[in-house]
Amino acid sequence: MQHRIVVLGGGYTGAVAAGRLARRLRREDVAITLVNAEPDFVERVRMHQVATGQDLRPRPFGEMFAGTGVGLRFATVTGVDVDRRTVTVAAGSGVSEIGYDTLVYALGSGWNDHGVPGAAEHAYEMAGRPGALRLRERLAGLGAGQTVVVVGGGLTGLEAATEIAEARADLDVAVVADGALGDWLSPKGRGHLRKVLAGLGVTVHEHTTVTGVEAGRVLTAGGGAVPAAVTVWATGFAVHPIAAATSLEVTGTGQIVVDGTMRSVSHPDVYAIGDAAMALGPGNKPLRMSCASGIPAAWLAADAIAARLTGGKLPGTRVRYFNQCVSLGRKEGLIQYVTADDRAVGAALTGRLAAVYKEVVCRGAAWGVAHPTFGLPVRRRPVTLRRAEPGGREAGVEREAPTPSRGPR
């Protein structure tokens, strides 16, 4: 009898969690299944590069998880029944159910139009590969002198604006920000950001609220308008609505409320990681939607699951921050150092060295996903597994785990 662990979503968090669980637990004891709509891992933090015509290295899940024991199911998740412990998926023309004993919910997020009129009809987004490819095609068709307006002055918007301006110096690129540009950065960070944008010829509209998007322009509060042959929407993310349709305890935004081990506070057999989770970090501040918090949360959840299944010690660490990494095109970058609870400090790394730093971080994150079982120890200990039976009862099995091997499994 194997304990069934189903991981929903093959982004950074889901893929890392599946690989780490495969290394922590024995194949004889658990069956791990990763469910994802696409057969390849997508480097979401590079979608602004895809949008400007750059090609990324393919990373098929079949190669990444070869020999690990992780089963792959390429299908779209259409529903979760946390009371029956089943997941409904659709692949091709067929719909089926997958049963689980432990569920890791890592479906992530998509773009958020915030209900702004016309945004869904006229704006482009880069929350995933399909959106980035649509934007790529549209940008390729623009003639010299046409205007691209990026709505959103956060990390995603800044990376998009600088990447587009660098790749297409013949275009007129603008950024529209609700508040002051880079108001969360240190003075050094803000100064460097403004310098780079000015050097790339990017126009900045600060303290400007977008009230609507039309074909050819962006409408702003007070009756103003900014010409836009292309509008790129980068105002944050919204989680998938599937969790909110279940009996899980969720926030008003649909994020699953979890404890310090990323375990659902309402359903102990469900763990949520990444953008889909409402987790508290240092200072009891909610973790922001980011790769920087999602990957450590995946480590934490996987270790907690393994500990609970094997009678081991629960991890006692909490996800914290060290820096914010921003690419400003291929030649410039900004590394803003922050406190544990994500507040900027005075120190910041800028320029070419910061660009190299950011590239190393991106490559390291992708490498960690592509080598999910590298370097993690497997301890020999009695394994106690619990699997839900029909009617809600649990059956336990205890046995000595075989001596682990050192190589990939």
pLDDT, one tens digit for every residue, the chain (409 residues): 899 999 999 999 999 999 999 999 999 999 999 999 999 999 999 999 999 999 988 899 999 999 999 999 999 999 999 999 999 999 987 999 999 999 999 999 999 999 999 999 999 999 999 999 999 999 999 999 999 999 999 999 999 999 999 999 999 999 999 999 999 999 999 999 999 999 999 999 999 999 999 999 999 998 999 999 999 999 989 999 999 999 999 999 999 999 999 999 999 999 999 999 999 988 889 998 888 889 999 999 999 999 999 999 998 878 888 999 999 999 999 999 999 999 999 999 999 999 999 999 888 888 877 776 555 555 434 456 555 444 343 433 333 333 333 333 2
Residue tagged 């290295």 (tokens): 57
CA distance 372 to 20: 6
How far, rounded to the nearest angstrom, does the alpha carbon of residue 185 sit from its chain's CA centroid?
Answer: 22
- The distance between the two most distant Cα atoms of the chain, rounded to a whole number of Å, is 71
Residue tagged 């602004």 (tokens): 48
Instruction: Label residue 165 exposed, middle or buried (CB < 10 Å: 0-12, 13-18, 19+).
Output: buried
Neighbours of 164 (CB within 10 A): 25
CATH topology of domain 116-233: FAD/NAD(P)-binding domain (3.50.50)
Q: What is the pLDDT of residue 396?
A: 39
Q: Could you tell me which CATH number the domain at 3-110+237-319+374-398 has?
A: 3.50.50.100
Provide CB contacts within 8 A for 337, sequence distance 6+: 322, 323, 344, 345, 347, 348, 349
Say if 3-110+237-319+374-398 and 116-233 have the same CATH topology.
yes
Q: Which of 228, 120, 116 is nearest to 164 (CA)?
A: 228
State the pTM of this model: 0.89
Question: For residue 219, what is the enclosing H or E element?
Answer: strand 216-220
Cβ atoms 334, 173 nearer than 8 A: no
What is the domain partition of the chain in residue ranges? Answer: 3-110+237-319+374-398, 116-233
